Amino acid sequence: MEQSAQSTPPVRDERAGHTRQVGQPFSALIRTASQEVHTEAERSSFMHALMGGRLGIEAYTALTGQLWFVYQAMEAVTPRLVTDPVAGPFIRPELFRSQALERDLAHLEGEGWRERLHALPATRRYAERIAEVAENWPGGYLAHHYTRYLGDLSGGQVIRGLAERNWGLAPKGDGVRFYVFPDIHNPAAFKREYRALLDAVPVDEVGRRRIVEECRLAFRLNIAMFEDLARRFPLSA
């Protein structure tokens, strides 16, 4: 009989730099191994102040604009990756966010928003990294796909509710459409399917460790973007 995950003793994987269960599903490994830096990103001073209502809608609009550059990088490469055995199964049009971000920015910034929008230095580095791995390493692209889209389906819903409450944005309407997935009718089932795809990804153990490290890098790139935004929108003393 196959031993259950609960009864399998943890082992130290020195190369990956974390403790894992023998036979642990990749979806569980990637979540636990990146949890610390994920939490750090969520608790960044900018996001904490923004979601606590201590920054205005201008800061929320600026975040939305920076995310547009990130998702442009994520989605511009999808035609090339859709047939890739590693990244391809995760390319799902119902996840795409660029058009929703554009509707939000048209509402928040008004006409001509593209001409006024500029990527912050950390955002440029983030987008460049996404483009780099998409070109050279589909497993690395998968790491960014996981940190972005699965996060949007989870914690992003908390952000949407806070934005609606803090700035009077219409529920699931213009200004928060980025966080709305109208073509995903059962988010919980979708996330289960996504994790099953992660568990089946055709990558060896070394490749999986590399993907985990890229997930950590993705969160650090997020943190750097938040730090740039914090400098642009400092809290009053």
Structure tokens at 184: 């995903």
Does the annotation flag 92 for ligand binding?
Answer: no
What radius of gyration do the chain's Cα atoms show?
A: 18
CA nearest to 154, candidates 42, 237, 14, 30: 42
The overall longest dimension of the chain from CA atoms, in Å, is 64
- For residue 185, the tally of other CB atoms under 10 A from its CB is 9
d(CA 118, CA 99): 18
Does the annotation flag 31 for ligand binding?
Answer: yes
CB 48 within 8 A of CB 108: no
Structure tokens at 209: 């460790």
Does the annotation flag 179 for ligand binding?
Answer: no
- List residues bridging with 19 in a β-sheet: 12
Collapsing DSSP to helix, strand or coil, 23 comes out as coil
Name residue, tokens 């990637």: 30
| Residues 113-123: b if buried by 16+ CB within 10 A, e if exposed | beeebebbebb
Collapsing DSSP to helix, strand or coil, 122 comes out as helix
CB 82 within 8 A of CB 93: no
Write out the binding residues for heme b: 31, 38, 146, 195
Write out the binding residues: 31, 38, 146, 195
